[in-house]
Amino acid sequence: MTCIVGLEHGDKVWLGGDSAAVAAADINISSEPKVFRNGPFIIGFSTSFRMGQVLQYHFRPPNPAKSRIKDLNRFMVTQFIEAVREVFKDKEFEDEDGDGGQFLVGYGDKLFVVDFDFHISRPACGFHAIGGGANPALGALFVSPGRNPSDRVVEALRASAAFCTTVRGPFTVIHT
């Protein structure tokens, strides 16, 4: 379980993640951040550390600036997600039903949510959170418009850690 927070603010996307590594009733603090850069993208993962390692070290995302597709949503739903599915299959991450995991992606000023079935969406409210601690984080983001984006992300993660036993600091925050 975890909490990954994404926030669109101005011309940037901010991602923040906790450091909890949870297995059954055991919790450890990981030294591997759950949010990172990969090419022109920032990514934050929640499903498993293996998925995060595949996305960070094996995935070579296509570059939207070099794509013939000018619509970013279309690019993400076609070229980006197909490249994700290919690397997951190659590294044997998908389950027998072909499902992957859940993660957030930032590019430029746009935040995208990738769900277990590889559906990609954009939150209309400009923010989203995933993982077991998502609900407290979403509430904190909802009540904090107009504040500094880095502070909003950290406060959302702090709220999540306060109300979810599987979310722990330290928190990592990055932006596009």
pLDDT attached to residue 65: 87
53-76 pLDDT, tens digit each: 999 999 999 999 888 888 999 999
89-111 average pLDDT score? 88
Residue carrying the six token digits 């090419």: 39
How far apart (Å, rounded) are the C-alpha atoms in residues 134 and 72? Answer: 26
Domain interval for residue 75: 4-175
Predicted confidence (pLDDT) at residue 98 exceeds the cutoff of 80: no
Most confident of the following: 1-5, 26-30, 103-107: 103-107
CA distances from 71 to 38, 61, 66, 96 (A): 21, 16, 12, 32
146-173 average pLDDT score? 97
Structural domains of the chain, count:
1
Q: Which of 29, 9, 10 is nearest to 19 (CA)?
A: 29
How far apart (Å, rounded) are the C-alpha atoms in residues 48 and 44? Answer: 11
How far apart (Å, rounded) are the C-alpha atoms in residues 112 and 6? Answer: 9
Confidence of residue 99 (pLDDT cuts 50, 70, 90): confident
Confidence of residue 173 (pLDDT cuts 50, 70, 90): very high
